[in-house]
């Protein structure tokens, strides 16, 4: 994941502001992840690979997604982990 606070090394007074911004952004992202649980998600991966799966969970540092019923070109994988490094983006309907 990403190193913490670069801006604040230069100006310690910015630290509380930056921490607040970080928490607001993270909370919003976690709520988004939460709402994705058990929804059908389309993953866009490198080399124009597109797969669909039911989203279950993510680890805290967003390195892996746990999914069910992953539709691959050679069949349906009941349970799977997707490496986030392989994913460009994913979409779902809220």
Partner 1 sequence: MQCDWPLLGPLQWMRYVNKQVKVKAGKDEERRGWLLTVDPVSASLVLVDFGEEEEGGRRASVQVVMGHAVEQVEVLQEADEETTVRLQASFLPPETHSLDP
Q: Which residues bind partner 1 (CB under 8 A)?
A: 1-2, 5-7, 14, 17-18, 21-22, 24-26, 28-29, 31-32, 34-35, 44, 46, 48, 60-62, 84-85, 87-94
Q: Are 80 and 86 in contact (CB under 8 A)?
A: no
Comparison of 62 and 76: residue with beta carbon closer to partner 1: 62
60 phi and psi, to 5 degrees? -65, -30
Comparison of 36 and 70: residue with beta carbon closer to partner 1: 36
Q: Are 58 and 43 in contact (CB under 8 A)?
A: no
**Residue 75 Cβ vs partner 1, minimum distance, rounded to whole Å:** 25
- Which residues, other chains included, contact 47 with Cβ-Cβ below 8 Å and sequence gap of 6+? none
């Amino acid at each position: 994941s990403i190193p913490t606070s670069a801006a604040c090394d230069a100006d310690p007074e910015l630290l509380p502001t930056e921490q607040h911004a970080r928490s607001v952004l993270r909370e919003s992202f976690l709520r988004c992840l939460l709402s994705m649980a058990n929804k059908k998600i389309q993953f866009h991966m490198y080399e124009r690979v597109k797969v669909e799966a039911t989203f279950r969970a993510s680890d805290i540092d967003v390195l892996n997604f746990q999914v069910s019923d992953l539709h691959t070109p050679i069949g349906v994988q009941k349970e799977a982990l997707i490496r986030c490094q392989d994913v460009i983006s994913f979409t779902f309907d809220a």
